[in-house]
Every structure is written in C-alpha cells, then in structure tokens.
Amino acid sequence: MTQSAKALGMTQSGVSQTIAALEEAVGTQLFDRSVRPIVLTASGHSLYRRGQNLLSDTREAYLEAREADQKKLAMLTVAMPESMANLVGPKLFKNKKDMCDHWRIWSGLTPAHRAEFLAHAVDILITEDSNINDVTGLERHSIFSEPYILIFPQSYQGSTELGPHLQELCLVRFSLRSATGRQTETQLNRLRLQFPETVEFDNSSCQIEAVADGQGWGITTPLCLLQRQTLIDKLKIAPIKRGGFYRHFSLIARENSLGSLPEELAAECRMILQDEVLPELFSKVRWLEDMLLCRTTRQIYKRTQ
C-alpha cells in the first residue's frame, strides 16, 4: 500500500479507500488480507488480467491517434547504466531528438533504475537482461553483449590468467550495489575463487583509476574501460580465458505503450555502438575486436538488414 501510494502520488489511506470502494463496486474481495504481504484473490487476479487488457487497448488507441497526426512525445525518460549513458546517451539524443520535446536521460546503478521503471517514473530502461527477467508485460529489444575482462597495472609482471595466484594482489571490486558487481561475484563463486574484500567502488571510472594507479587488479568490461580511455596505456588488459562471462544489454519498455519508438531507439543504439563507440576501443585494444565482432557487431549487422 505504501509503495503504491508513493507511485501514484496519493496517501496510503487514499489507496486503501480506493481499493475498498473497488471491492464494494465489484461485490467481492480482491485481496487476501489474512497473509503478509497481502496477495490477490482469484477474483483479484481475474480483474487484474482484464484490467491490463483494457489499459493496453487504451494506450494503443492514444498511440494510433497521436501517430495519425504525427505528434511527438512531450517527454521521454530513458534510464541506462553509467557506461552506456556516457558513451551512447548524447549521441542517441543528437540522432533522435525530434522524437520528443523533452528528453531525460538518467544514469546510475541498475537496481535503482529497475525500481524507477516499475514505479512508472522511467519510460524506457536500457539494462542488463538479468536485472528484469522476472517482470512480465514488457517488450524487449536486444542491443549489445560484451565480455568481462581483466585489468592490471602496467607494471604487473605476473600471470594474467584468472586464478588463485591473484590472491597476492588486491582485487579492486565493483560494488555489490550494482548488477555488474553482483554478476562478477556470482561468477567468481562459480569458479570457487575467493579474494579478500579490501575495497569496492560503485563507479567504474574510480575502479579503473585505482588499478591504473597500482592499487590492485580488477574485473571490468570494454564499455567501462572506454570511459577512462586516457588510462588504457597505464593498464595491462587481458581476456578471461577460463570461466569467461558476458553482460547482455536490452532496451525494455512496457508492452504496447510507445508504439514503434522502443524498436527504433534500440536500432539506433546498436548503430551508435557499431559505428562510433566500438571503433575507438578497437584502435586501442586490438585483440578485443575479434572477441566483440563475433558476439556483437555481426549480430548488430544482421538485425539491421
């Protein structure tokens, strides 16, 4: 009740009164209040499903009316991870600014974006697939996949394989508050690798700077690396050969809420990555080109034909 009130801009008592009035109008109980947290009754589930269909039809009617008159959106809020926002966000606005009168492009930690999207404060979410796989009623457009890679100070002379020998150095972690940090820890646990918890950052730029400064080693991604490309010469960069893993980005929107706009924006993001972002990376770390081409750019090319 509290979360619903916050999302709707109402008081908690106002939400409770609205539900009570709805139950009175329907003539049956919609929520089972004997359990905590409360859950929908069978009647509640039925009304919820029918309500979704009605809302979907209403949204489509508005879309058809607006598109028939070629009206653009008044406001569009797009949330994406920091690395994607820094590298793709400005170009996306430049290339597609005529779609909307007022753009809001938000960057930050993925869990916060998920909550804002579910609360309808965000219209479009660009995120790692694992962050929102459990939510239904969404349309999803694949954008990009990138491998996690290892980074070391340029002065490091040891093995660049991911293994127990790296316990001798400090692992500069990415915060567990982020999806990237949690995914990294999950993979290390799968590989049965444990490293002392010494320091973590919730900002990839800070993590990369700490490694470049000789404070330890880290696990990052090519997009994160590109944010501090001036530091690449101070790093030794290596692939994860044993236990390699990827993060996969998709563009998420509520089903039938924005017409063809989500698909158009996803296609634009793919082209920006292919034509403008990735070539900068390949010019600095050449071996990444083969790894990313077979997992990303070729897939992007096929989708745009």
The continuous run of DSSP H or E covering 107 comes out as strand 100-108
Contacts of residue 116, defined as CB under 8 A and 6 or more positions apart, other chains included, come to: 79, 106, 122
pLDDT, average across residues 54-63? 68
Residue 221 has pLDDT above 60, yes or no: yes
Residue 70 has pLDDT above 80, yes or no: no
The predicted pLDDT at position 302 comes to 38
What are the tens digits of pLDDT across the range 94-108? 999 998 889 999 998
pLDDT band at 45 (very low <50, low <70, confident <90, very high): confident
What are the backbone dihedrals phi and psi of residue 76, each rounded to the nearest 5 degrees, phi first? -140, 125
On the 0-12 / 13-18 / 19+ scale of CB atoms within 10 A, 219 is: buried
Residue 303 has pLDDT above 50, yes or no: no
Other C-beta atoms closer than 10 Å to the C-beta of 128 total 21
The predicted pLDDT at position 262 comes to 94
Rounded to whole angstroms, the Cα distance separating 33 from 67 reads 43
pLDDT, average across residues 221-242? 92
Residue 272 has pLDDT above 90, yes or no: yes
pLDDT above 70 as % of the chain: 91
What are the backbone dihedrals phi and psi of residue 258, each rounded to the nearest 5 degrees, phi first? -130, 20
The predicted pLDDT at position 304 comes to 37
pLDDT band at 137 (very low <50, low <70, confident <90, very high): confident
Identify the DSSP state of 129: G
The more confident residue out of 61 and 104 is 104
Cis-peptide into 37, omega within 30 deg? yes
Residue 234 has pLDDT above 80, yes or no: yes
Q: Which domains does the chain have, with CATH numbers?
A: 2-65 (1.10.10.10), 72-147+248-303 (3.40.190.10), 149-239 (3.40.190.10)
Listed in sequence order, the DSSP H helices in 69-124 are: 82-96, 110-118
pLDDT, average across residues 136-156? 93
